[in-house]
Amino acid sequence: DAGVIQSPRHEVTEMGQEVTLRCKPISGHNSLFWYRQTMMRGLELLIYFNNNVPIDDSGMPEDRFSAKMPNASFSTLKIQPSEPRDSAVYFCASSPRGSANEKLFFGSGTQLSVL
Amino acid sequence: AQSVTQLGSHVSVSEGALVLLRCNYSSSVPPYLFWYVQYPNQGLQLLLKYTSAATLVKGINGFEAEFKKSETSFHLTKPSAHMSDAAEYFCAVSEGFTGGGNKLTFGTGTQLKVEL
């Protein structure tokens, strides 16, 4: 299994531009998570999908952030317009059933730099 | 809401010495607890998890953790540190969503440095 695949690995953009991060979860996994990691705030859960349906998006910072999961094998996280404070590493993770005692499988992350 | 507190953002040990990384949790229900490790430029990987079966949990790479309800702790230990253990370690607690699924809340992480 290829694991959770994220693209791009690195993204450098200018303030005001639209940024789209992509994630392919492990085949057969029903739950997908987007996390953001920064030095100041650590790992924050942004949004969580179960069976392609957003269950909790309370961690999404503001309306500039949006996430979609059009099918079981693909999800996107979009920032429009981007700001320098959005610079962080964004991780996608998936789990088989989304049970509370399951482990999460993480992708390698997207390092986003907004200039 | 559940939370975890990791004491010490940086821990330094000598190779061959005991590793002890501290984690305390707050939970209104019996928790599920996890330790994850993150190597540079990589995503997080599960080291071990506590799911109420046994209080002493053994994980990969010689790590183990003991769940102590009376102390609300889940400290991570390894008898003898190796250079390859240098990484950032995260403690996490899981709570269920009403609609199903889980929400993993992470601590702020402890950076482990192993010196010769």
Chain-centre distance for alpha carbon B59: 10
Residues A91-110 pLDDT 10s: 999 999 878 788 899 999 99
Distance between terminal CA atoms of chain B? 41
Tens digit of pLDDT per residue, chain B (116 long)? 788 999 999 999 999 999 999 999 998 777 899 999 999 888 999 999 998 778 999 999 999 999 999 999 999 999 999 999 999 999 999 876 555 567 788 999 999 999 99
Q: Given this model, what pLDDT does residue A62 score?
A: 86
Q: Smallest Cα–Cα separation from B23: which of B75, B94, B89?
A: B75
Q: What are the tens digits of pLDDT across the range A11-63? A: 999 999 999 999 999 999 999 999 999 988 889 999 999 999 998 898 998 89
Q: Is the pLDDT of residue A10 over 90?
A: yes
Nearest Cα to B47, choosing from B39, B64, B55, B35? Answer: B35
Judging contacts by C-beta atoms under 8 Å, the chain A residues touching residue B95 are 100
10 Å Cβ neighbour count for B11?
18
Q: Name the percent of chain B lying above pLDDT 70.
A: 94
Q: Nearest C-alpha of chain B: how many angstroms from A64?
A: 23
Number of C-alpha atoms within 13 angstroms, CB side, residue B22? Answer: 10
Say whether the peptide bond before residue A84 is cis (omega within 30 degrees of 0): no
Which residue of A21, A40, A89, A102 to mutate against B (max B Cβ within 10 Å)?
A102
CB contact under 8 A, B101 and A31: yes
Burial of A63 (0-12, 13-18, 19+ CB in 10 A): exposed
CA distance B75 to chain A (A): 18
Res B41: pLDDT: 85
Of B45, B100, B103, the CB nearest to A45: B103
What's the maximum distance between 2 C-alpha atoms anywhere in chain B? Answer: 49
Region of A111 on the Ramachandran plot (φ > 0 left; ψ -120 to 50 alpha; else beta): beta
pLDDT band at A1 (very low <50, low <70, confident <90, very high): low
> Which residues in chain A touch residue B104, judged by CB atoms under 8 angstroms apart?
33, 45, 104
